[in-house]
């Protein structure tokens, strides 16, 4: 008995030591968001003369007393990811004050921006390339040993196609993909090792282009072509660089399935709740009573209900690279 008692004491001591050591070595997970309106939590409010904004009524009606700059009725994907992780909501980089303590979650995403600098350049948006430069400024303030605490989550490229829906021949997929790869490589050079990239959504299924609820195949074919190559780039960069971990979220297939079979996924309508929101005029005209019944909030952006479902896939992919 004495021998067993000594063994148990020894085992518990080792376990306690391991718990202490590993407890100290496990970092606090932090998040960085980059891209477009899918992730934007109000960046463009801080961009002078920006015309690409969602800070007017009725945006935010489900969750906020006033519009917060999010292009939806309530929470968007960064909010929902952070809630699961246990982080406060991300703060726009442009809202950070000099000398202030860095938040646990920082957001660079800008409504209307794209991978290409030329996309909506006259709208007053922050392109993906410019966001990378802003992040570079921030890296100098983060101790190098802590960069691995961050998961960088990206949603960019949709506006490069959306800006050319009237003439898809003008879409330069090759240039988009080149800039995406260069951007991921730049993140590695900065010192980040965990990257999650979101596919483009089914742009051929958004209410602004659909007819009688039917998706436009020509647009979706182009999106699928980009997504397939983007996935190869994300996973390829992760294989290429030591220590790099990359994940690809297929939100395209999920949202497309919601539009095609809304009842199955808890929706009543595959269209948009606020048909006049994007016009900035008469925005309450035609506004639905219950946004959660709809896949889309306005004619382009999903509802919180849709984002909640898609966030489950984001979390699945994030867990893979931790």
Q: What is the pTM of this model?
A: 0.90
pLDDT tens-digit series, residues 63-91: 987 888 999 999 999 999 999 999 999 99
Look at the block and give the residue holding tokens 């921006």: 113
In this predicted model, what pLDDT tens digit does every residue of 117-159 receive, in sequence order?
Answer: 999 999 999 999 999 999 999 998 887 768 989 999 999 999 9
Give me the CATH topology for the region 26-320. Rossmann fold (3.40.50)
> Could you read off the pLDDT of 10-46 as tens digits, one per residue?
333 333 333 333 333 334 799 999 999 999 999 998 9
Q: Which own/partner pairs from 54-59 qualify as long-range (CB within 8 Å, at least 24 positions apart)?
A: 54/111, 54/301, 56/280, 56/283, 57/283, 57/284, 58/274, 58/277, 58/283, 58/284, 58/287, 59/277, 59/297
Domain boundaries, the chain: 26-320
C-alpha to C-alpha distance for 155 and 138, rounded to whole angstroms: 20
State the residue for tokens 């994940």.
247
Residues contacting 25, CB < 8 A, separation 6+: none
Query: In the prediction, which pLDDT does 145 show?
Result: 67
């Amino acid at each position: 008995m004495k021998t067993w008692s000594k063994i148990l004491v020894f085992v518990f001591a080792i376990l306690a030591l391991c718990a202490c050591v590993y407890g100290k070595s496990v970092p606090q997970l932090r998040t960085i968001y980059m891209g477009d309106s899918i992730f934007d939590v109000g960046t463009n409010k801080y961009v002078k003369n920006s015309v690409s904004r969602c800070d007017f009524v009725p945006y935010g009606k489900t969750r906020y007393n006033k519009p917060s700059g999010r292009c939806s009725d309530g929470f968007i994907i960064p909010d929902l990811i952070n809630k699961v992780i246990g982080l406060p909501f991300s703060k726009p980089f442009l809202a950070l004050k000099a000398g202030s303590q860095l938040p646990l979650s920082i957001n660079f995403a800008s409504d209307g921006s794209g991978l290409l600098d030329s996309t909506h350049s006259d709208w007053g948006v922050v392109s993906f390339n410019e966001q990378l430069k802003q992040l570079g400024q921030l890296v100098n303030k983060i101790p190098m040993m802590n960069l691995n605490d961050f998961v960088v989550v990206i949603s960019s490229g949709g506006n490069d196609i959306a800006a050319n829906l009237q003439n898809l021949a003008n879409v330069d997929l090759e240039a988009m993909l080149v800039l995406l790869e260069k951007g991921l490589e730049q993140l590695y050079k900065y010192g980040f090792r965990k990257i999650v990239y979101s596919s483009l959504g089914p742009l051929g299924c958004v209410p602004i282009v659909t007819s009688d609820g039917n998706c436009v195949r020509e647009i979706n074919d182009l999106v699928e072509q980009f997504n397939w190559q983007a996935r190869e780039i994300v996973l390829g960069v992760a294989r290429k660089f030591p220590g790099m971990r990359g994940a690809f979220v297929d939100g395209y297939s999920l949202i497309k399935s919601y539009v095609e079979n809304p009842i199955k996924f808890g929706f009543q309508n595959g269209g948009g709740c606020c048909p006049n929101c994007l016009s900035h005029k008469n925005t309450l005209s035609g506004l639905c009573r219950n946004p959660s019944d709809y896949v889309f909030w306005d004619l382009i952006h999903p509802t919180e209900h849709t984002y909640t479902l898609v966030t489950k896939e984001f979390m699945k992919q994030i867990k893979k690279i931790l």
